[in-house]
Amino acid sequence: MTLHHDKHHVGYVNNLNAALKSQSDSPSARSESQEAELKAVISFNAGGHINHSLFWESLSPPGSPQTKESACPKLMAALTEKWGDLAAFKEEFKKVLLGIRGSGWGWLASSQESGDLHVMSSKDQEIVPKGFKPLLGIDMWEHAYYLQYLNNKAGYVEKIWEIVNWETVEGRFSRNLVEVYGHLNDLKAML
């Protein structure tokens, strides 16, 4: 996880900062295609920073009180209502995570309109789609698991539950979208 955080996530931040600086330097000197490419670079790296920030906040050391399902009673009740029990939810989430082709993210999200829970995926560094509030994001890029699990994505998915910070996920479940994104709201608004 240290390499993941200190190299990959930091890379998104550094690339985003460089692209934002480039965007502010001589905008009239860029062609339409250069401007479109710069916006794509900003979007990709901003999404990478947002997704990873939410991811890190969703993790705790194994065995810590935050990793116990008892840390999220309201969410557990909602998961049970939707999927029948926690095991069925995890199985559904596992299908979504292992169904990601290439790189992407798996999400537990709630509809902003109805509050209904959904499991979904996003490609590359795309954030949770509009209309949904991210509760838990799982990084399914190869860099998230390869050093420890090699090509055993299923092993990574099984073990990730041992470090999910259910207390944080419960907090997101209870808060509004602006509170969930916190300091990332301005960046999210750019996407």
Neighbours of 55 (CB within 10 A): 19
Given a contact cutoff of 8 angstroms between Cβ atoms, the answer to whether 170 and 75 are in contact is: yes
Is the pLDDT at 149 greater than 90? The verdict is no
First vs last Cα of the chain: how many Å apart? Answer: 27
Q: CA angle, corner 83, sides to 89 and 175, nearest 5?
A: 75
Pairing of strands 132-139, 104-111: antiparallel
Q: CA–CA separation, 57 vs 157, rounded Å?
A: 18
Residue 22 binned pLDDT confidence (cut-offs 50, 70, 90) = confident
Is the pLDDT at 90 greater than 60? The verdict is yes
Average pLDDT, the chain: 90
3-class DSSP string for 140-161: CCHHHHHHHHCCCHHHHHHHHH
Segment 32-78, tens digit of pLDDT: 888 889 999 999 899 999 999 999 999 999 999 999 999 999 999 99
